[in-house]
Amino acid sequence: MRQTDVILLWILFTYLLVPYADVEGKSVPPNQWNVLLHTKPGQYLKIDCEDLIEYDINLFPNVSLGDVTDFRIRYCPLPGDSFKPTMDLFNISRFEDMTLDGVNINNSTGKKVTKQLFDGLSELKTLYFSSLVPINLESDFLENLPNLRQLQLQNTIDKIYPNMFNYTPKLEILHLSQNLISELPNRVFQNLPDLRMLHLWNNQLTSLENETFAGLGQLTSLELSNNQIVHLDDDTFSDLVHLVNISLRRNKLKKYWCLYF
Ligand SMILES: *[C@@H]1O[C@H](CO)[C@@H](O)[C@H](O)[C@H]1NC(C)=O
Ligand SMILES: *[C@@H]1O[C@H](CO)[C@@H](O)[C@H](O)[C@H]1NC(C)=O
Ligand SMILES: *[C@@H]1O[C@H](CO)[C@@H](O)[C@H](O)[C@H]1NC(C)=O
Ligand SMILES: *[C@@H]1O[C@H](CO)[C@@H](O)[C@H](O)[C@H]1NC(C)=O
Ligand SMILES: *[C@@H]1O[C@H](CO)[C@@H](O)[C@H](O)[C@H]1NC(C)=O
Ligand SMILES: *[C@@H]1O[C@H](CO)[C@@H](O)[C@H](O)[C@H]1NC(C)=O
């Protein structure tokens, strides 16, 4: 850490939400949580959570940070509405890179991620989103992110909707590896004319068809290793005129396929 760095560090020590209760002479561990905030005003805000059940901005200090470029949360739940109240609290009007790492969503509550979560973030360029279990993403959850260039969803989705990527026409890099995707709807990427890199390794894909990759005229890199692919249409890759690298390792293809590019 450089001395010139202005590092503000708050440690909100173990807040006790319920008092200790004595049960047969033993202390029952309290329902407790920790939140750790790191920030370098003008550059980043990082929030680490531990055992936090509800995202509650009242847990954060009220300090004006001004704009930052990078906003990260780790092992935190998601706000019920959007990140706007958090941004207002810290007086942040915009940032370009967002990391939601190991999002701790309790699936059993049936909570969904809707487009509202990203209200006011239309300038976002990079989103990395991973969660502890696959979560329920609404089909239009990307609608408020029209300027996204890079998107990575990891351990987060088990289903791709046909219109999911219609809202992010500027995407150049799309990482969907390490999810539970078993099917890609026909033409699902057709509104991504600038996409250069598409990673789908470690999913459960079984079949790729002639229209799966329709419209990906700028794609140079396609990673499909570690799936269960048994079938490819002969012209599956025919739209991919700029493809340089493709990997189909560790699939279940039984014969050599004659591929047309
Ligand atoms: C934060 O502090 C500012 C003044 O420093 C005040 O105007 C604002 O209402 C406070 N916000 C919250 C959520 O307490
Ligand atoms: C919020 O940031 C703006 C500049 O981005 C600044 O003019 C304003 O004083 C800040 N507000 C507070 C409460 O610090
Ligand atoms: C999930 O939420 C339910 C209902 O609120 C609760 O009973 C359960 O303990 C929670 N599970 C986890 C892992 O937080
Ligand atoms: C969480 O919920 C989603 C949507 O209901 C479901 O697809 C997914 O399988 C669930 N994940 C777990 C680990 O229960
Ligand atoms: C894909 O194949 C189906 C039938 O197998 C055919 O009807 C359709 O025209 C083909 N699409 C393209 C773009 O070649
Ligand atoms: C293709 O793969 C090679 C070797 O991994 C790498 O050096 C090169 O940058 C890749 N090219 C593209 C366009 O992804």
The 10s digit of each residue's pLDDT in 45-65 is: 999 998 888 898 988 888 888
> Which residues make Cβ contacts (< 8 Å) with residue 70, sequence separation at least 6?
43, 44, 45, 95, 96, 97, 98, 99
The answer to which of 11-25, 103-117, 181-195, 235-249 has the lowest mean pLDDT is 11-25
With respect to residue 91, please indicate whether it lies within any of the assigned structural domains. yes
Does residue 254 belong to any structural domain of this protein? no
Report residues whose beta carbon is within 6 angstroms of any ligand 4 atom.
107, 133-136, 158
φ and ψ of 241, to 5 deg: -70, -20
CA distances from 261 to 27, 95, 193, 216, 218 (A): 67, 39, 17, 12, 13
Measured in Å, residue 109 CA sits from the centre of ligand 3 at: 7
**pLDDT beyond 90 at 170:** yes
CB atoms within 10 A of CB 24: 5
Residue 20's domain comprises 8-247
What distance in Å separates the CA atoms of residue 215 and residue 73, rounded to the nearest whole number? 34
- Which of 62, 63, 84 has most ligand 1 atoms within 8 Å of its beta carbon, as the pocket-test mutant? 62
**Contact assessment for residue 79 and residue 117, using Cβ atoms and an 8 Å cutoff:** yes
pLDDT band at 258, cuts 50/70/90?
A: low
Residue 58 lies in a domain: yes
89 lines ligand 1 (CB under 6 A): yes
As for how many domains the chain has, the answer is: 1
Is residue 90, in this structure, part of any structural domain at all?
yes
The CB of 211 under 6 Å from ligand 5? The reply is yes
Q: Give the pLDDT score at 255.
A: 63
DSSP SS3 for 221 = strand
Alpha-helical runs (H) found in 113-227: none
Closest CA to 170 of 196, 140, 189, 147: 147
255 Cβ contact list (under 8 Å, min separation 6): none
Q: Is residue 258 part of a domain?
A: no
Tens digits of residue pLDDT in 118-145: 999 999 999 999 998 888 899 999 999 9
Read off the DSSP letter of residue 57: G
**Ligand 5 contact via 239 beta carbon (within 6 Å):** no
CATH number of the domain residue 35 falls in: 3.80.10.10
Please give the structure tokens belonging to residue 182: 């078993």
Q: Judge whether 2 lies within some domain.
A: no
Q: What is the pLDDT of residues 213-243, one digit of tens each?
A: 999 999 999 999 999 999 898 899 999 999 9
- Inside any domain, residue 253: no
Nearest residue (by CA) to ligand 6, atom 9, is: 245
Residue 1 lies in a domain: no
